[in-house]
Amino acid sequence: MKILLILAMLVAPAAHAAYKCKDEKGITHIGDTPPAGCAKVVMYEITRSGNILRKIDPTPTGEEIQARMEEAARQKEAAKLAAEQRRKDIALLATYTSEKDIDTSRDLNLQPIDARILSAKERSAAVEERQKELDAELEFYKAGKSKSASKVRDIPPQLKADLERTAKEKASLAAAVASYQRELLDVRDRYDADKKRWVELKQMHREGRLDLRDPREVEASRKGEPTKTGVKKYNLYLVPAN
């Protein structure tokens, strides 16, 4: 019985707690239940003596909830993009030691594309010649002439088929050349961007501004926590160990 009485005395202050806040106009509200004027501001649950038991944040509106969700999504996407950029930067520095290395790699990747363009153009030239021969033969039949007699002759089905096939191949080759040329430009643009970024990273390195550590490692170092194992340090940037 005495134990129950003691427990009742211990919980009594919490049972008689009050709610207090200061609204947007600076007016203080207090009550045994959460005051209506505290709906949009931070509220505190307090004892009768004024001691704070807990802080109660205002219930967010639908618009606030939506805004928070959108902000969280933006932060998540930004973190994803930053992580991807970090991965690319580490790979870039690990792959190339000079601008010349980048140019050499670019040229090696351009060679097979140039070869495909050359092959397609050579084939296209051959198709052009074949088309001229077929066009000449077509004109022969259109003029109603024959090598053996002067009479109108129908265009042979095989000639029609050859003309259609040649026209399709010519169009296909033209499309292929255009595609290869776009690929060529894409490769050049990609390597130009890589070289520009590589130069930027090297400049940041020289200025002591380059830090490619994982954000979790940066946060851990700020808190004074030990750096995780499995990481090699290269000057001012970090590259994960193989």
Q: For each of the chain's 242 residues, which pLDDT tens digit applies?
A: 444 433 344 444 445 689 999 999 999 999 999 999 998 899 999 998 889 999 999 988 889 899 999 999 999 999 999 999 999 999 999 999 999 999 999 999 999 999 999 999 999 999 999 999 988 888 887 776 555 555 556 788 998 999 999 999 999 999 999 999 999 999 999 999 999 999 999 999 999 999 898 888 877 877 776 655 544 444 444 444 33
Same structural domain, 109 and 130:
yes
Does residue 13 lie within any of the structural domains? yes
Does residue 78 lie within any of the structural domains? no
What is the C-alpha separation between 90 and 126, in angstroms, rounded?
A: 48
| Contact status, residue 37 vs residue 23, Cβ threshold 8 Å | yes
Task: Give the pLDDT confidence score for residue 238 in this predicted structure.
Answer: 46
Does residue 178 lie within any of the structural domains? yes
Does residue 76 lie within any of the structural domains? no
Look at the chain and report how many structural domains it folds into.
3
Same structural domain, 184 and 231:
no
Same structural domain, 113 and 177:
yes
DSSP annotation of 24 reads: T
Q: How far is CA 179 from CA 109, 120, 144, 176, in A?
A: 16, 11, 42, 5
Does residue 40 lie within any of the structural domains? yes
Q: How far is CA 110 from CA 29, 102, 104, in A?
A: 74, 12, 10
Which range marks the domain in which residue 223 is found?
Answer: 211-242
Does residue 18 lie within any of the structural domains? yes
Q: How many helices (H) and strands (E) does the chain have?
A: 5, 6
